[in-house]
Structure 1
Amino acid sequence: MLMDPDTLAQIVPAVSRLEKVGENEFNAIAEIKLGPVNGAFSGGLSLSDIRENEGYNLHVKQTSKIGNADALISINLKPVSDSETELTFDGNARLSGLLARTGQRVISGVANTLTKQFFTNFEEALAAS
């Protein structure tokens, strides 16, 4: 599910559209509206270092009038039982423009909120399938 573009478009917060442009590469359109951080973003989303049933890297590069974001997130999957999988992730992002000047505390809060939304959306997609 985490590699399906339709599922990703539903569960990644603020993404309104994913358009496939190549093998594991997509154009992404997103809108972020959280407190002082809001703007329309466009750019790319790609999957790399794909390890079947183990994980992959998600690279997101977005631009907007309020700044640019370039993030690399490593998603790792570990079977716990026949019906459970542990998902862990780690990543970092480079920001520029107004986004970078907004302040670490505000951006960290936005990142935490988006992460929680991602997992809530993912749990809902799992329950629906």
Structure 2
Amino acid sequence: MKMSDSKVINAGPATVFAAMLDRDVLAGCVPGCTEMSGSAGEGFTATVVQKVGPVKATFKGEVELSDIVENEGLTLTGAGKGGAAGFAKGGANVRLEADGEQTILHYEVEAKVGGKLAQLGSRIVDGFAKKMADQFFTAFQDAVGAPEEGEEDSAEDAPKRGWFRRLRS
């Protein structure tokens, strides 16, 4: 399964790039992530709990960063095993494009699954993979970018939105 999309982030490329290397940002953006350790240089290990159709599994996996070009982009590659549920592996090529005071984050994602997950059928698995990628990059967009001018955060969103950018200020 392959897909691509882009997100506009209300922060400069240096801030967005730093967030892509930050374990706490990544852990907060991966849907179902219960634990993450490691570093950008050595790679990350993570535990993620997800339900795909009728199959619920705890995946333990590793993510490596490569092709790192400061403030321009990188490649994330990961693989995880979910016991009897099977495995998932894939990657994302991320490219940053400066646009005034904003950054356009372009991403191309490829995912593969095996085991019980693969038996669910490509329609369910592809829909799930698309949903996971969208949730990750939307959460990343919210964690890093400030609200657009004239846009107000609800009381619930205010503490979460742009937290990484505020931390770096």
Give the TM-score normalised by the residue count of structure 1: 0.90
- 1:78 corresponds in structure 2 to 97
- Give ranges in structure 2 of 5+ residues lacking alignment: 1-18, 145-161
- Give ranges in structure 1 of 5+ residues lacking alignment: none
Larger radius of gyration: 2
CA 9–100 in structure 1, closer or farther in 2 if over 3 Å, else same: same
| Bigger proportion of residues as strand | 1
Contact 1:24 1:48 in 2 (8 A): no
Larger RCO, structure (CA 8 Å, separation 6 or more): 2
Contact 2:78 2:89 in 1 (8 A): yes
Cα RMSD between the aligned structures? 1.6
Match of 2:116 among 79, 95, 98: 98
**1:116 positional shift:** 2.3
Residues 1-129 of structure 1: matches in 2 within 5 Å?
Answer: 1-20=19-38, 23-65=41-83, 66-81=85-100, 83-126=101-144, 127-128=162-163, 129=166
Moved over 6 A (4+): none
Percent of counterpart pairs with the same letter? 33
- Using the alignment, how far apart are the partners of 2:41 and 2:66 within structure 1? 10
- Using the alignment, how far apart are the partners of 1:71 and 1:12 within structure 2? 14
Give the TM-score normalised by the residue count of structure 2: 0.70
CA 55–45 in structure 1, closer or farther in 2 if over 3 Å, else same: same
**1:117 positional shift:** 1.3
